[in-house]
Chain A
Amino acid sequence: MNFTTIIFLYFFLPAFMLVYFLTKPAGRAAVLTLGTCTVIAWSEPLGLLPFFGSAICAYLCGIFCYNFREDKKRQRRVLVLNTVINLLLLALFCYSAWEQLFGKGLFTAVGCGIFALHAISYCADVCRGETEPEQSFIRNAAYIGFLPSMNGIPLVRRSDICETMKAPRINTTMMADGIVVMLFGIAQKVLIADRLTALFEDMLYITGGEMSLVLSWMGAFIFGGAMLCRLKGYANIARGFAMMLGFDLGRSFDYPFSKLSLRDYLNSYNIPLVGWAHKYIYEPIAGNERSYTRKLIGSATSIILVCVSYAPSMKYLLWGSAAALLILFEMLFETRLEKVPKPIRYIAAHVCTLIGWGLISQPELVTSLEYVSNMFDGATLLDYAPLLYVLRTSAPYVLLLVLTELPQPIRLYKRLESRRVNVTAMIKPIVIFSLLSLCTAFIMAEV
């Protein structure tokens, strides 16, 4: 079940919230698990198999990892077993590896990426002694398939929610804020991301693939903006939904467009995923030693895997490798680069990200490479008619994108919130009504 559909917003959400509200706090983890099962089964009832497979595996391995804490060798074996099983589930049911190897046969399971990675991180945390194993299977399953993250973003660390999970409490202010954040997320997805994606497809169509140089840079920006907004939208929906349920998840994006280096850009883009890669890929490779080479290898591997996790294909591998190379370059020459004037660093970093967007903007690797070559060697420098059309039609959405990417509106909101006369609480009902109407109109347009 997609969170930006009528069926979720108008049917699943109120029904689920009613049951959640009526259940005692201690039993809410069971309601959460039931909600996850409904979301998975709605798309594919068989998707429950990998979910429970992953949950049972993580539950048992978590307990074994804890019991073998004195015997590191056996603990490692259990950890490897859990990791291998979950990676296998991830490959088969999230990335359709089966389909690519043997043709059609297996289905994809909604949220599989989330529950496989949650299961891996949970056991690793137990092994490291950073968290205690969960004794209740239901609470463990509620974390492994954390309902608000079921649209693929964000990953949640168990230590962040395990206390709340024992008895989640509904808080009026948090719920009201959660509704606004969730509706804002839906608006980002349907109002900005979907429109920009349609516009990008339109651009490709009207130019027949032969874009002028200026237009292809603009296309890369529109494509990148659409992808950012889609992910941000889903992250905000999850965050708002979690707030409604009594969980505080934290932000997933930290204004990547305002960063001066690629490294900062990456670290502020889908923060939970980057954090996960840092903890469970970079740290094991880099180790505690002070070997610089191992650190570089660890960084490169985690960057490549983060990029490939969006869609495992050659173009994403190329994208990840290029990003890893550039970031390693930044790390190696960090002190020298700091002397370069900020505007130049900003322009260089964002030119690189735009080329990166160009590289993944097309369905095939060859056409993607052609697109990137077009960014330097376009058919013409400027083609006024399509450029003006794209400028005119994209202007409102780009404006909205920029507005959501600036920290100032949030700062203003916080300043208003801290005033004695609470303006934000007063305008909240109006904001909710307007966002709900807008989102519904745009969702209905796709029907």
Chain B
Amino acid sequence: MRKILDMISIILFFALIGMFAVSTVMFGRLAGKKHGESFQSRLQRSAEQSFPLFENWRSVYTALITAAGQSRIGDIYVSDERMIEILSRTDEEKTARNIEEINRFAAAFPDASVYAMLVPTASGIYSADLPMVITATDQHKLIDDIYFSIDRSVVTLDAYNPLFSARDDYVYFRTDSSWTAVGAYAVYSKTVRKLGFTPLRLSNYDMEYAARDYYGGLYYRTYYGGTSADTIQLFRNKNGSFVTGVTALRDDEETEYSSYYYSPALKTDNKLDLYGGGDLFDRLTVRTSNEGAPKLLIIKGSYANMLVPFLTPHYSEITLLDPRALGRRSLEELVTVSDYDQVLFLFDTAEFSTEEIRLGVHPPEAPAEPE
């Protein structure tokens, strides 16, 4: 009897692992090669990524961890209300280099009107909601410190206070680290005067839902099922769209679109790419029907995509340039700065304080003093 039961145990074990292994090989695919990665680690990564029931394993883990009393999974704080990516470590060296890059830009183009806006992430706005022991960086102070170091010729725009005042509204996605269109409007309505315009009232817009059960990047990193799904809202101008055409540049190839909203994204997991293609394009030029209105160049992080729909009524052309897509190229190889009336640097605090922004711009040498 014992032998039979032991045999059942052995068969069960090998049947289970064999089944998963075969299904991984049959339905999996080889992951893309990473720089400097050995074949073995690539194979290991592929097996792990193609492993059957990937989501279920992760959600079982999260369910067990949260049931055991933990509310933090990696750098993400999870609760039924929202997930928050905790910004707790900033890279001071990179931050200083990024500030230097903006200052160098301002020095290289003294005639351009340069603006800078740093948008706090949810961890800055909702820091009071985090458990006492989870220490998040004070983003208000971080933004103040950065603004203080930026050259005085650059006009800084405050995004912290508008978002903090609107924190009870739906200003950040519950399952993604991005802000929402509502958050972007809150900041737009308070800052656009500094750019020289009167903000349009919210009543000028019709709101529609592009997606009702959107699960964002934070969900796919934790698979925590307790937080409810998000909705992606679009604010359509009641008088019709101002956008007449969009030119997107990707890998030196230009594509024309009729709308700023990149609808193929709705069929993918990255539904937020609906806003200007997310970070898909190296450069995106939005043309509007406001002929004669000023032109705006946005040197952007991912947060900028949400704000653009509110800026289109004020400009004849808005160009978004992602410095991460520049590689070794200089900014001037993709845009002519003198063509624009205003230049706006728009990043979120996490991006600005942890990633390096390189524009490849050098201010002209100061003329030598006559002897």
Contacts and interface: CB of A to CB of B under 8 A. Distances in A.
Given A14-B17, A14-B18, A179-B13, A395 B47 contact: no
Nearest to A202: B72
B16 to A, nearest CB: 6
B24 interface: yes
B59 to A, nearest CB: 9
A206 B135 CA distance: 7
Q: Which of B1, B10, B58 has the most CB of A within 10 A?
A: B10
B49 A447 contact: yes
A36 B44 CA distance: 18
Contacts of A172: 3, 6-7, 10
Interface string A210-223: 00000000000000
Contacts of B195: none
B357 to A, nearest CB: 27
A444 B12 contact: no
User: Would you call the interface of chain A mostly helix, strand, loop, or mixed?
Assistant: helix
B133 interface: yes
Chain B's interface size range is 35 or more
Contacts of A444: 48, 51, 54, 57-58, 61
A173 B6 contact: yes
Nearest to A207: B133
Given A11-B47, A14-B18, A442-B61, A395 B69 contact: yes
A131 interface: no
A7 B133 contact: no
Nearest to A172: B6
Contacts of B64: 438, 441
A432 B13 contact: yes
B3 A173 contact: yes
B5 interface: yes
B229 to A, nearest CB: 22
A396 interface: yes
Contacts of A422: 1-2, 5
A426 B70 CA distance: 34
A432 B69 contact: no
Interface in B54-79: 54, 57-58, 60-62, 64-65, 68-70, 72
A219 B10 CA distance: 40
A397 B132 CA distance: 22
Contact of A6 (B13, B51, B60, B72): B51
B326 interface: no
B27 interface: no
Contacts of B17: 9-10, 13-14, 436
A146 B238 CA distance: 75
Interface string A35-51: 00000001100000000
B9 A428 contact: yes
Contact of B9 (A179, A206, A392, A438): A179
A393 B131 CA distance: 13
Interface in A1-40: 5-7, 9-11, 13-14, 17
B202 interface: no
Contacts of A436: 13, 16-17
Contact of A389 (B16, B57, B61, B133): B133
A6 B17 CA distance: 10
B239 interface: no
Interface string A130-164: 00000000000000000000000000000000000
A177 B20 CA distance: 22
B43 interface: yes
A301 interface: no
Interface in B195-248: none
B48 A393 contact: no
Nearest to B49: A447
Q: Which of B12, B13, B24 has the most CB of A within 10 A?
A: B13
A10 B44 contact: no
A398 B3 CA distance: 36
B61 A393 contact: no
Contacts of B21: 10-11, 14
A367 interface: no
Nearest to B61: A445
Interface in A170-229: 172-173, 175-177, 179-180, 202, 205-206
A436 B10 CA distance: 13
B338 interface: no
Nearest to A175: B10
A177 B9 CA distance: 9
A425 B2 contact: yes
11 contacts: A6-B44, A7-B44, A13-B17, A14-B21, A172-B6, A176-B5, A202-B72, A393-B70, A422-B1, A422-B2, A444-B61
- Nearest 10 pairs between A and B by C-beta? A176-B6, A425-B5, A444-B57, A445-B61, A441-B60, A396-B68, A389-B133, A447-B48, A176-B9, A428-B9
Interface of B: 1-3, 5-10, 12-14, 16-18, 20-21, 24, 40, 43-44, 47-49, 51, 54, 57-58, 60-62, 64-65, 68-70, 72, 88, 131-135
Given A176-B10, A445-B57, 9 more contacts: A10-B51, A14-B18, A176-B5, A389-B133, A396-B68, A429-B5, A429-B12, A436-B13, A441-B60
